[in-house]
Amino acid sequence: MKDQIRIFSIETISSWFLGIIWISPLLYAFWAAFHPQEYSTNFDLTAPIVLDNFIEAWSYAPFSRYFLNTFLIVTFILLVQFVICTLAAYAFARFEFFGNKILFYLILIQLMVVPEVLIVENYKIMSQLNLVDSIIGVGLPYVASAFGIFLLRQTFKSVPKELEEAARVEGCKIFSILMRVYVPLAKPTYLAYGLVSVSYHWNNFLWPLVITNSVETRPLTVGLAIFGAPESGVNWSIISAGTLLSVSPLLLGFILFQRQFIQSFMYAGIK
Amino acid sequence: MNTKISHHIYGWLLVMPAVILMGTFTHLPSVTTLISSFFSNETKKRPSIFIGAENYEYMFEDPVFVEAVMNNLWYSLGTIIPSIILAIIMALFVNSKLPGKTLLRMAYFTPTILPMIAVSNLWLFFYTPDIGLLDQIGALFGLESHNWLGDTNTVLACIIVITIWKEAGFFMIFYLAALQNISPDLKEAAALEGSSKLYFFRRITFPLLMPITLFILINATLNSFKLVDHLFILTKGGPNNASNLILYYIYEVAFSFFDFSYAATITIFLLVILAIISLAQFVFFDKRIHYR
C-alpha cells in the first residue's frame, strides 16, 4: 500500500509537469499579450495588465474582415459538405447501383490525395473557373469529402432497414425517408464530423494561401501569417495578442465543450 | 425489375454531385499533374513541349530536392516515434485516477485545435536568440546564446519539436479510447495475482494497444508529408534548405519560381510516397480484420 502511494505521487508530479510544459507556449502568449511590451520577456508578477496590445493588433491588420472571411469559408464548406456527403452516403449505404463498389474506392482515394497535395493543378483549375481569390474557390476542393461520405455511410448502414420500410409503407418517398429517418438518427455523426470539419478549416493554411490574394478573401490564418512575418516589424506583445485573437473563438469553444470536442475527434478518427 | 432500374438511377443521381466535385478537384488534377510532369514549363516565350522523363532526371539530380526528401525522412522519424511514446504516456496519465485529470487532458489536447500558423508564432519566441526563452534558460546555466532557427544543425530539430507538441495530444485521445476499452476484469485479475503496474503494462496494456498504434503510425507518417504550415513562419525552408520539406518545396517551385511542370513532377513523387503508405494501411488492416 505504501509503495502504491509513492508511485502515485511520482505519477502526479510528472503528469502535471508534462501538462505545464505542454500548455506553457499558450500561457506565455497570454502573458505577453496582456502586459506592456517591456515586460514581454521579464516575468515580473507585479507587471500591470493592459489591453493595449489587442487594440494595436486590431488596428495593424484588418482582423474583423479576416474573421468574417474565415467564418464564411467555414460555414460554406460545412453546409455544402453536409448536403453532398449525406446524398452520396445514402446512395452508398442503401442503393445497389451500377459501379457502386468501384466508385466508392475511387472516392476513398481522396483520403490519401488531400487537396493540399494538389495545390499546383487545383490552382490552374480554379483560374480556368475564374474562382481564384474567392471564398468559393477556397472551399470548393473540400466540399466533396471522402471522409464525410465514409463516416455517414457507416452510420446510415447501421440504421435498421425496418425503419425505412415502415416509412415507405406510410408512403414516404426516397428523399423524405432520408430526411425523416436517416438524418435524425445520424445526429451524433453530424456533430462529430461538423466539429472536426470546422476545426480543420478554421486552421487550414496552405490552400487558402495559394488561392487568395486580397483582404476580401483571406482567412485568419493567412492574415496572421502576413501579420506575424518578421518583415512586418510588429513586436512580440502585439503578435501574441493577434495570435490569441485569431484562435480565441475555437479555443473558447473547446474550453466550453471540451467533452464534445474530444469525443468527436475520437469518434471521427476511429470509425 | 422496375425497382432495380430505379435503384440504379436514384443511386447515380444521389452520388452525382460528389462525383463531379471530387472528379474535378481530386482525380482530374491527379491525372493532369502526371501529364504536365512530362512536358516542359510554359513561358511567355516558349510554349510547353513534350520532353519525356527529362523533368524526372532533373529532379533526381536536383540537390535541393534530394535534401528536402532527406529532411522529410528525418522529420518523419523524429516526429512519429516521440509523439507516439508521449501519447501513450499522456493517455495513461489521463486514464488513471490522478487529481485534476480533466484539466490535464485539456492541457495535452489544446495544441491540436490551434492552427499551425498560430503555433509557430507562439514558438518563435522560444527560439529567438538572446531574448527567447530557450536562450534565457540557457543563460542561467552559463550557456551562450544560439540562433536556433538560423543554424543548419538545429533548425530541423526545432521544427520537429513543434510538430511533436502539436500532435502528441491528438494521438493521445485514440490511446485513451483504446485504454477505456480494456476490461477492468483484467486489472482486477492482475491485482489479485499481485503483479506490478509495470508488468501489467508490459504484458497486458501494451499488446492491446498495438492495433491502434499501427493506425496512428500510418496516419502520423501521412501527416509528416502533409504538414508544412509552420515552415512559412519559422524558416521558409532555410537556412540553406536545411529545413525544406517536400510539400514546401513544391510550393516554392510553383509559386516562387513559377516552374509548374517541375512542381508537378515533384507532386507525382509525393503522391507515390503517399500511395505506398496508404497501401500499407490497407494490407495491415485487412490482416487485422482476418484475425477477428
Q: Which residue of A has its CA nearest to B132?
A: A41
- Tally Cβ neighbours within 10 Å of residue B170: 21
- From A21-30, A34-43, A260-269, B197-206, the region with the lowest mean pLDDT: A34-43
Please give the domain boundaries of chain A with CATH numbers for all domains: 62-270 (1.10.3720.10)
Q: Cβ A255–B25 below 8 Å, yes or no?
A: no
Rounded Cα–Cα distance for residues B102 and A54 (Å): 30
Q: Cβ A84–B17 below 8 Å, yes or no?
A: yes
B2 band by pLDDT with thresholds 50, 70 and 90 = low
Mean pLDDT of chain B: 86
Q: Which residue of A has its CA nearest to B20?
A: A144
Which residue carries 515552415 as its cell? Answer: B231
Rounded Cα–Cα distance for residues A244 and A247 (Å): 5
Does A27 contact B at CB distance below 8 Å? no
B156 band by pLDDT with thresholds 50, 70 and 90 = very high
Please give the domain boundaries of chain B with CATH numbers for all domains: 62-291 (1.10.3720.10)
> What average pLDDT does the segment A133-153 reach?
93
Say what the ipTM of the complex is.
0.88
The pLDDT, as a whole number, for residue A2 is 43
> What average pLDDT does the segment A60-68 reach?
90
The pLDDT, as a whole number, for residue B137 is 78
A21, B106, B108 from A17: Cα distances, Å: 6, 14, 11
Rounded Cα–Cα distance for residues A256 and B80 (Å): 30
Does A179 contact B at CB distance below 8 Å? no
- Is A28 within 8 Å of B122 (Cβ atoms)? yes
Report the residue from A224, A250, A270 with minimal CB separation from B117. Answer: A224
SS3 label, residue B24: helix
The pLDDT, as a whole number, for residue B236 is 87
Q: Which residue of A has its CA nearest to B174?
A: A266
The pLDDT, as a whole number, for residue B285 is 65
Which residue carries 511542370 as its cell? Answer: B261
- From A83-92, A207-216, A226-235, B278-287, the region with the lowest mean pLDDT: A226-235
Instruction: Report pLDDT digits (tens) over A197-243.
Output: 999 999 999 999 999 999 999 999 999 888 876 665 667 888 888 88
Q: Cβ B29–A202 below 8 Å, yes or no?
A: no
Q: Classify the C-alpha dihedral A229-A230-A233-A236 as positive or negative.
A: positive
> What average pLDDT does the segment B214-240 reach?
88
Residues 6+ apart with CB under 8 A from B148: B127, B129, B132, B134, B154, B155, B158
Does B229 contact A at CB distance below 8 Å? yes
